[in-house]
Structure 1
Amino acid sequence: MAYVISEDCIACGACEPECPVGCISEGDIYVIDQDQCIDCGSCEAVCPTGAAHPEE
């Protein structure tokens, strides 16, 4: 199951450099490419607001 970034994202950018496959990109909030995500959890570990989490 891929990770997602919720509306709680404050666009701080902490998650983007942590992704080992580069599937996080910036928009109004950060977005994870579901097709490239390898479900590693690196983004969740560094997100200060808990916006990055496994897709439910």
Structure 2
Amino acid sequence: MENWAELAVGEVVEVVRHAQVVSRGTVEEVSLSGNVMWILSDGPHDRQLCLKSDGVIVRRG
């Protein structure tokens, strides 16, 4: 998904890096610019910060 600002709070997403899913969780907050997103993760880290500048891909899960 190119424009993270289109994501809604509560949506389930997967974060992909180098063709592997590195995290899955629920959108908690997205910046107005769509460059920063917080997700509540299903994994060992409860809350995760995702930066578009890190080169990750986000897809609806």
Q: From the CA coordinates, give the structure whose radius of gyration is larger.
A: 2
Greater fraction of residues in strand: 2
Larger RCO (CA within 8 A; separation ≥ 6): 1
Greater fraction of residues in helix: 1
TM-score range (shorter-chain normalised) is: 0.3 to 0.5
Q: What TM-score results when the alignment is normalised by the length of structure 2? A: 0.31
Q: What TM-score results when the alignment is normalised by the length of structure 1? A: 0.32
